[in-house]
Structure 1
Amino acid sequence: MKKVIGLIAGFAVLLGGAVAYVVSARHSGPAVNAVPVTAGQTLALDPSTLFFRNLADGPDHGKLAAVPAKDPGTARRVGDLSCDRFAAARGTAICLRLKPESLPPLTEMLVLDANLKEIHRETLPGTPSRARVSPNGRIVNWTLFVSGDSYAASGFSTRTGFYNLDKQRLTKSVETLPILVGGKRYFASDVNFWGITFAADGNTFYLTMSSKGKTYLIKADYAKYWGEAIASNVECPSLSPDGRRIAYKQKVVTGKWRLAVLDLATRKITNPPDDRLLDDQPVWRDNDTLLYPLRAADGSTDIWSVGLTKAPTLLIRHATSPSLGGGRLS
């Protein structure tokens, strides 16, 4: 049975950003790059490298770029791969990109090896929104915006799925995932999921579920295929490398979101010292530092870093979709 989205307004904001985000990669742009670029590079996954989507105007707009994680101010190296969303872990990467001239929109989901060579591809309905790789590198997952669902009063919904490299198993959607809320099996016509993050065991994962105007943090078991709500008002979760904390988007009274961190053991919620609008899934640089893209006043998007108690720092201008290249720095 088709389902109804509970958070239409939130999805409208998300969708607007996603569509603009993807469409911006399709313009022809100027013939000269607006920032220093070393083009035509052969890129490979390396935990000392920070990858991102290049948003600077020029012929390399929309392409995958890389800088040293410890020196992100250097000229960005750019290869030939174009991605609207990118993530990597343990020698595996995922690249989501909108299929040209597809209507309704289709996304190409590419699984890449350590040399960023394609090893698997799926074409899925929707527009790229989120992408992650499990810390063991064996499961890639994604969230896409889709249109045309009769249950989506706004005309839009999401689809969240997996691809298991070891079993070569595709799960196009987790909509059938059984969920417990308050210890009881939860049934509703408007359940929707997005934003997956895996634990180091490659089995435990967390994601957002929305229903009846609320969002929940779901802790799930991949092998047993079931989940349980463990917190509320959590969107786009990201599990820390040590598995102790979840960073996420926290909705505030204005209806916008800010960065928040949940301690899984104590359930204490703290807010890093950056209260600007966050509309993405944060990335842990290490156990104490987060990376995330923010929209600037001039309309561009930049990658920022913030410590759990330290002030935010601008890392890379005209960039989004940050990912450490195959792992996290210790």
Structure 2
Amino acid sequence: MSLQRRILILATAVVLLAAVAVTALVRASATEDRKNRTQADGPQVTRGPVSLDPAGGDPRIVFRNMAWGPHRDELATVPAAAPEGDRTASGVACLRFHAAAGTGICLRAEQGGVPDRYRAVVLDARLKEVSAHALAGIPTRARVSPGGRLAAWTVFVGGDSYAGTDFSTRTSVLDLSTGRLEASLEDYAILKDGKPYRSADVNFWGVTFTADERTFYATLRTAGRTHLVRGDLAARTVTTLHENVECPSLSPDGTRVAYKKRVPGLPAEAPWRLHVLDVASGTQTPLAEERSVDDQVVWTDDRTVVYSLPGDFGADLHSVPADGSGAPARLMASALAPAFLG
């Protein structure tokens, strides 16, 4: 290799390294600027203790704080009776979060990585890290089982939106009592319309658990259609139950599933309406929320569901009755990924 060619290669490498360094610096600076900017009309947010202990006092909400300021993206808490009140921030940052029975799952970005890298971090009741697991893509859904034994998460491994058809997901389930990780539900045997089914285009997302710490529901997509499936962790099987169901969320009494459903005639970028399915009868009830909701809803109790919609500072939380009556109402501004505790 000639001296001139070696110099050219060295110069090119220097330029590329400089570009990477500048990109990282700009992104870090932008992130710091956003965190230090205070939201003038937002909630008061101060640092303090945050607990996931279900017996830790009055009912409360733990969520990702989206208000501008030094505590943006941190897990924060408010009393359930005063959701728009002052917030206590934990110092623990998450992109997606859920908790139950004193256990939390936090999907977060690794600091300083170019390109971005992500981890699923299991948290105890005091938000201390119990274990961590590398993620294969961008975090999008997270759930903990009612008894706190199981955690599930979904990431985008290709594409970045459920609205289109060119995305791919990976969904994992972790048994916290044994440490066993099911890295992908795509390894499970599928029973579709009563028959064994195999296809290279299978995707799963949006797990929700039953109280027996073994059974779950999730979305299965294949051949351009989505299905509600019931899964068995011990048998490593899933069975299709109902079509056109995405991001299911099981009611506390285990009888109904809230989900987003694609409605013909709506815009391609906003195609969903919230529905509730009675699992036993198969009856679907459209909810009073007429805006398109791209979220896995959370039940506050057996009567109400909560979900996110775009807001001035990223996302706001809204609620609506689960029986199709009433009207939607904003629950909290600048908040995402709630867990209702206590």
Q: Could you tell me how far 1:207 is from its partner in structure 2?
A: 0.4
Q: Which amino acid aligns with 2:292?
A: L
1:252 is the counterpart of 2:266: no
Shift in CA distance, 156/213, structure 1 to aligned 2, threshold 3 Å: closer
- C-alpha distance in structure 1 between counterparts of 2:53 and 2:79, whole Å: 10
Unpaired runs of at least 5, structure 1: 1-22
Larger radius of gyration: 2
- C-alpha distance in structure 1 between counterparts of 2:31 and 2:174, whole Å: 27
Once the two structures are superposed, residues 87-135 of structure 1 have per-residue CA deviations (whole angstroms, 9 ceiling, x without a partner) of 0011100000122343554211110111111111112221110000011
Q: Do the aligned residues in 2 keep the contact of 1:207 with 1:236 (CA within 8 Å)?
A: yes
- CA RMSD across the alignment: 2.0
- C-alpha distance in structure 1 between counterparts of 2:94 and 2:37, whole Å: 20
Q: Which amino acid aligns with 1:262?
A: L
Shift in CA distance, 26/180, structure 1 to aligned 2, threshold 3 Å: farther
Q: Do the aligned residues in 1 keep the contact of 2:250 with 2:258 (CA within 8 Å)?
A: yes
- C-alpha distance in structure 1 between counterparts of 2:321 and 2:133, whole Å: 37
* Aligned-residue identity in percent: 44
1:313 is the counterpart of 2:320: no
Equivalent positions of 1:179-328 (< 5 A) are: 179-253=190-264, 254=266, 255=268, 256-296=271-311, 298=312, 300-308=314-322, 309-325=325-341
Q: Do the aligned residues in 2 keep the contact of 1:180 with 1:227 (CA within 8 Å)?
A: yes
Moved more, 169-178 or 278-287: 169-178
Equivalent positions of 1:1-330 (< 5 A) are: 26=31, 28-29=33-34, 30-34=36-40, 35-47=42-54, 48-147=59-158, 156-253=167-264, 254=266, 255=268, 256-296=271-311, 298=312, 300-308=314-322, 309-325=325-341
Once the two structures are superposed, residues 156-215 of structure 1 have per-residue CA deviations (whole angstroms, 9 ceiling, x without a partner) of 411100111111111221111111111100111211100000000011100000011100
Moved more, 38-47 or 60-69: 38-47
- C-alpha distance in structure 1 between counterparts of 2:218 and 2:321, whole Å: 23
- Of Structure 1 and Structure 2, the greater helix share is in 2
- C-alpha distance in structure 2 between counterparts of 1:89 and 1:260, whole Å: 24
Moved more, 236-245 or 110-119: 110-119
- C-alpha distance in structure 2 between counterparts of 1:154 and 1:262, whole Å: 24
Greater relative contact order (Cα < 8 A, sep 6+): 1
Question: SS of 1:161's equivalent?
Answer: strand
Question: SS of 2:68's equivalent?
Answer: coil
Once the two structures are superposed, residues 237-267 of structure 1 have per-residue CA deviations (whole angstroms, 9 ceiling, x without a partner) of 0000000000001111124111110000110
Once the two structures are superposed, residues 9-66 of structure 1 have per-residue CA deviations (whole angstroms, 9 ceiling, x without a partner) of xxxxxxxxxxxxxx9x946324434423342211101441111111111111111111
Q: Do the aligned residues in 1 keep the contact of 2:67 with 2:313 (CA within 8 Å)?
A: no
Partner of 2:21 in structure 1? none
Unpaired runs of at least 5, structure 2: 1-27
Q: Do the aligned residues in 2 keep the contact of 1:33 with 1:60 (CA within 8 Å)?
A: no
